Structure 1
Amino acid sequence: MGRLLPQEVHHVVRLLQGASAHSTHSVTSVSLQCKASPTKESGFRSSQCLGFNKYYPPDYDGEKHKSLNAYRGKHALGDRARKLDKGILITRFELPFNIWCGTCNNHIGMGVRYNAEKKKVGMYYSTPIYSFRCKCHLCDGWFEIQTDPKNTRYVVVSGARQKDEEWNPEENGGFAIHDTENNSATTDPLIALEKSTDAHKHLTNVQIPRLESLQDLSDHYNNDPYARSAIVRKHFRAEKRVEAAKRADDDRIKGRYGLPETLKLVEDSDEARNEAREEWERGRRHLEEQSSIRKARLSSSAGPNPAASLRERVLGNMYNSKLVEKRVRKLGVR
């Protein structure tokens, strides 16, 4: 492989120095690939330095140019913004209905797409009205379609005519879908008078008293906000001190008797004492009942008393001996 010329080496060194200098300004570092190809004049052509991601030239300044598009004098949208200085943006537009071209009189179906010149031509209240100017793909004629925010639709302005495929419900006994005109039908004067009377009664009996009560309430609470705020804060501070003292007493009692910290102690009062006394009496009665039941079970499981059983056995034997003597006497008499 041959050598590079001094001019080519100097050019490569300048590129490398520029890339290293701009890397300190948080600019993406450039990975260079230098390719050399033989030529008739010098044997090798100057190296081509290519960047893997984006190429930032040596004279690029991030604070000055802001972006590569600004450095190269190009727009981010590319060729679509070539007429942006005239307020025109090239966009993709799809026909919303069937039309006939006014130049070649050919039919163009709904859904055909064009590179249209989009431009703002007016306003309907706060909604912009846009115009889409398209060139027919069957001839050199142009046609223009605009948005109609008032009726929420598209209208053909020039260069073509729309195929009428809409169904009017008014002609078939229905109601208009987009009725933007004022209703010119005459109303019954008695009905109008009744509505106005009801509205006046509602205003007098409901709305005005409600507004007055709200105004009085607002004046009551906002009369002296600083004084009311001071009273509320003083009350909160007093409650906070009481709660802190109560919490300290509870912690001292829990620590003295080894109670768990999660146990919630009841405030000492006559009602709490009465409830505790009743609960203690109830528990005592329950304990006595349980002890009596336990004693009865133990006595029944131990069996009969030995002395009582012996007495019963002796009496039974005596009774049996008397019966035997009577029977013997009867037999002897016979």
Structure 2
Amino acid sequence: MQPFNKYYPPDWTPEKGSINTYQGKHALGDRARKLKEGILIVRFELPYNIWCLGCNEHIGQGNTAYVVVSGARKKVEEWDPKETEVLEFQDEKVKEELESNPMYRLEHGLLDKKVMDDSVPRISQLVDLNEQQWADPYTKSQKLRRRFREEKKKERLAREEDEKIRDKHSLHIDLLPETVSDTIQAKRVEYDASHLLDQKRLQTAVSPLFRKKTQSTRLEHMAKTQTRLKTDPFYNPTHPFSSLQKRANPEDIVISNKKKKKEDDSSTSLVFYSDSDDDPN
């Protein structure tokens, strides 16, 4: 909690002043340890290297190094600048040798001159190519703008086609660009001719919903059933899971009209009750 200056020990009271005075510390912390000498330590981090104008020393590189004693190991990152195609900096030892040894400086200068002479043809070729490409900036700009307009027009037409397909099939998703596999799959699909589709639609519209079985169909079904009964001893046409059992056709059901005999009223027997006058009692 010390960086936030919100921790107060139990023995602190407001009469003792601020918490920094009570702890004997400066508000700037350890950076103000040389404040009496007129030096305020400023800590910052920059994405580039800088040098102090007072002492002409490199700032940010550091004058110390961390040495792992135990419990861990340092990651060693080494690479060849030529293979990675990065700028190769001179080592500290090379710098010291160049400053102190004139012969080494001469040899190093000859090597640098040889590298420069080897790179001159390639650099000249790049310069000539650049001059040829941009000899007429107006023409190059016209070509770039024309190509940009053509690409923009193609993208607009593609978006319009996608919108038509989405509206036709009621799609709410974005369509991806067409690929080679999509073209192959589309060529494998075969469609009937338009006149054949019209004939099928007309036939479906005119034909009845339930077709009537003809006499030959019923006879064929009866022949198959009789043959199955003779050849298959386990066949039971009345079984509910029989494959040949079908629902009874209303045309195959025969209803006999029998008239109900009317009961003769005269044959109905009546119960005789004796008259009260005839009772002897």
The TM-score normalised by the length of structure 1 is 0.28
Asked which structure has the greater RCO (Cα within 8 Å, sep 6+), the reply is: 1
Higher-strand-fraction structure: 1
